[in-house]
Amino acid sequence: MALRYEEVPLADGALPVTLWEPTSPTSTLVCVHGWTLDHRSFSGQAALAERGIRVVAFDRRGFGVNTLPSGLSRELEDLRCLLKHQSGPVYAFGVSQGARLLLRYAAQYPATLDGIILQGGLVDGLPFDATEIPYDYYRELLRAGDRTAFSEAWLAHPLMQIGVPPDKRAAVAELISGYEGRDLLESSSDGKRDDLSALLPEVFSRQKLPLWAIVAEQESAIRRAHTDFLIQQCGAEAVPMPGGHLCHFTHADTFNERLERSLAALGH
């Protein structure tokens, strides 16, 4: 396995990418991180490269070392550019906000992927709890320059607490230590919320695009409800997991084993 870095050219700059490269890759897994995270949140998936899966992770706009202007609407084209550089079969794995981004992407460009894995994301158009993550409160902490208060408040949030074993809490804290809040400070909106709830079942059915939904034992109720929609209405295969919202990170060995089994079922 080789670790390497590259930059994918974009219209307004470049996308920083980290790759864990097998000697003889059989497939590619492109990983899309969630809010306050970056490519390091997929370090546990690097072990998949030992099993022939090329693992590609990157810092989204406003996160990590990516200095490009933030905005979910711009990230669709970023992802499209990144996927053009991959050799197939190519699967995309999205966590939380990254899963939501992937659903937006699938609605527009389903033919560019061979399968999608989603964990803890929300489906645009379905009912959601706007108070689940108090973005305005976090934004004010960051505007005041109090990153310590922000970190303490966010680490105390149920999404970051529940299902995280005690021996993983320091690692989770380290993950968000690099978050600067550029996405919150640059904009108060995460982009237009098109209703995808009627479109996605038809997209996955028409394209026969394989879809897996991670079902974490301790995921939040609203996110479990959105995951149920993917299973019941979009034909997603449920992949049960221990842990909570960050189960791919906190229970990486189990996640990798179950993901590899799912891909192997397709012959990859």
3-state secondary structure labels for all residues of the chain: CEEEEEEEEECCEEEEEEEEECCCCCEEEEEECCCCCCHHHHHHHHHHHHHCEEEEEECCCCCCCCCCCCCHHHHHHHHHHHHHCCCCCEEEEEECHHHHHHHHHHHHCHHHCCEEEEECCCCCCCCCCCCCCCHHHHHHHHHCCCHHHHHHHHHCCHHHHCCCCHHHHHHHHHHHCCCCCHHHHHCCCCCCCCCCCCHHHHHHHHHCCCEEEEEECCCCHHHHHHHHHHHHHHCCEEEEECCCCCHHHHCHHHHHHHHHHHHHCCCC
Give the tens place of pLDDT for each residue, 75-126: 999 999 999 999 889 999 999 999 999 999 999 999 999 999 999 999 999 9
Residue for token pair 């004010």? 140
Domain coordinates of the chain in residue numbers? 2-264
The number of residues in the chain equals 268
pLDDT at 265: 84
Q: Which CATH code fits 2-264? A: 3.40.50.1820
pLDDT at 267: 67
Q: What are phi and psi of 143, to 5 degrees?
A: -60, -35
Average pLDDT, the chain: 94
Give the tens place of pLDDT for each residue, 129-151: 999 999 999 999 999 999 999 99
pLDDT at 116: 97
Q: Are strands 13-21 and 27-32 parallel, antiparallel or unpaired?
A: unpaired
pTM for the whole structure? 0.96
